[in-house]
A = this chain, B = another copy of it.
């Protein structure tokens, strides 16, 4: 990687200033910069040790996938976010598989897992960062679980549409009903029925171009 990327990556790692010179060099020598297209798979399935991901540009989606192909989105990571679960082989006791896809054109720094693991074991600052990040993702996943268990689907769909509109910076959401079902861990038919309900209420306009929010205030009342 060129010098400018070295600087960018170092600024994304909160423990950088606590690293020894040799550790800094090891990380930079074993980091690559990869480019992904919209929807491209980054991690998942058999390769359980892609590496530690740092999002340089774009957005990634982290999700669960069942044997039958059912999905649910756990969280999204934006620019400057770090993902350790894509290097789960180095986290003792993590026994679940996650999948990671690009949402839109995305550039990622990927740090070699074994190098990261070695440094985390020697350097308490890197170890502490791991604990904090795992706890953060644990909390995010618990939030999703509470939503699934305790929240009605109309509320969850309304929240998702508003969040998605904010992420895209547009009132038109260009996702299929199938894709929305995958985010929410629901079925396409159920999502279509609820989108129809919101349409009848004058909240949405559903067309081939996507789902347009025409009454954001009323949609927010469902949240």
Contact = CB atoms under 8 A, between A and B. Distances in A.
A72 interface: yes
Nearest to A143: B96
A135 interface: yes
B91 A135 contact: yes
A131 to B, nearest CB: 5
Q: Is the contact region of chain A dominated by helix, strand, or loop, or is it mixed?
A: helix
Given A131-B130, A138-B141, A149 B185 contact: yes
B96 A150 contact: no
Given A128-B127, A145-B141, A145-B145, A136 B93 contact: yes
Interface in A108-145: 124, 127-128, 130-139, 141-145
A135 B92 contact: yes
Contacts of A124: 124, 127
A148 B150 contact: no
A128 B145 CA distance: 27
Contact of A64 (B134, B136, B137, B149): B149
Nearest to A142: B96
Across the A-B interface, the 3 shortest Cβ-Cβ residue pairs? A66-B150, A93-B135, A96-B142
Given A92-B131, A127-B128, A141-B141, 19 more contacts: A64-B150, A66-B146, A70-B150, A91-B131, A92-B135, A93-B136, A93-B139, A94-B138, A127-B131, A130-B131, A134-B135, A134-B138, A137-B138, A138-B141, A141-B142, A141-B145, A144-B145, A145-B145, A145-B148
